[in-house]
Amino acid sequence: MRVFKTIGSIRDWSFSIHKELKSIALVPTMGYLHEGHISLVRKAKMSADKVVVSIFVNPTQFAAGEDLERYPSDLQRDLDICKKEGVDAVFNPDKKEIYKRNFQTYVENEHIGQILCGKSRPTHFKGVTTIVSKLFNIVDPDFAVFGQKDAQQAIIIKNMVRDLNFKTKILIEAIMREKDGLAMSSRNKYLSAKQRQSALVLNESVKYAEQQFQSGNKDIVALKSKIEQRINSTKDCRIDYVEFVNGDSLQNNIKKGDKVLLALAVFVGTTRLIDNTILKY
């Protein structure tokens, strides 16, 4: 497994792989890898000849007061996991390599980047689309794999690829969950034992909506109210949002036959967690 620190070195490697007529799949991460990330790596291995994992805690997607400074990190552990999973290359640049002095050019989605998570984190997706576009330009992947847990992010990146004519094909992998149902996240380590128990209300809310839809109850207004009541009555939990939206456009224009996304963002203590599910309206 190769570990690259500079843009020039991984570009040279990528060029040599493509020269051999082999394909590359990229798994962009901020490190502190867990089983969710590993599922993305395994999907990448099934999709391409070579797999690159990027490990970079991207400062531009964090606003002032968010958890950039305490975001969990263990590079050697991440490298060991990548090696065990058969990753071909890891791109682990430092901040100065990615954002040169006087950096001032950003990529931004004008519409769906400002709703759902974008309401409470208005600069977040601007940072995400900027770093992902840079990684696509640097690594030149044929495929890139993202997780369904970050559903809004996945849709925004798909739109970016379409609008800016990237050649990279976006692949989405299902949410990976802990044994108790909590969606896997690097931020789960912030939770105390009691908060961890409270955090299960996110998955419980998702399962409740799935069961109600399956039984024929698709009254979105009533279901949203029930879910909000459930979360508000759970200790240490504070709702950022609970929304049923069109699963493709993220808008509220839902009609019969549409794919519906139930998206949740909840603060458990000071830790913000997300979860979602796709339903058939």
> What digits encode the pLDDT tens for the residues 148-159?
999 999 999 999
Whether the predicted pLDDT of 65 surpasses 90: no
177-226 pLDDT tens trace: 999 999 999 999 999 999 999 999 999 999 999 999 999 999 999 999 99
Q: How many CA atoms lie within 13 A of 164 on its CB side?
A: 19
Share of the chain above pLDDT 70, in %: 100
> Which domains occur in the chain, in start order?
2-173 (3.40.50.620), 186-276 (3.30.1300.10)
- Six token digits for residue 35: 């089983």
Q: Which of 18, 34, 37, 124 is catalytic?
A: 37
- Six token digits for residue 232: 């508000």
Regarding pTM above 0.85, the answer is: yes
- Give the count of beta carbons closer than 10 Å to the beta carbon of residue 195: 18
240 within 8 A of 152, measured Cβ to Cβ: no
Whether the predicted pLDDT of 132 surpasses 90: yes
CA-CA distance, 269 to 280, in Å (whole number)? Answer: 32
Tell me the average pLDDT across 117-145.
97
Best CA proximity match to 81, nearest among 107, 62, 100, 55: 55
95-124 pLDDT tens trace: 999 999 999 999 999 889 999 999 999 999
Q: What is the pLDDT of residue 213?
A: 97
CA-CA distance, 193 to 200, in Å (whole number)? Answer: 11
Beta-ladder partners of 125: none
37 tagged catalytic: yes
Q: What is the pLDDT of residue 165?
A: 98
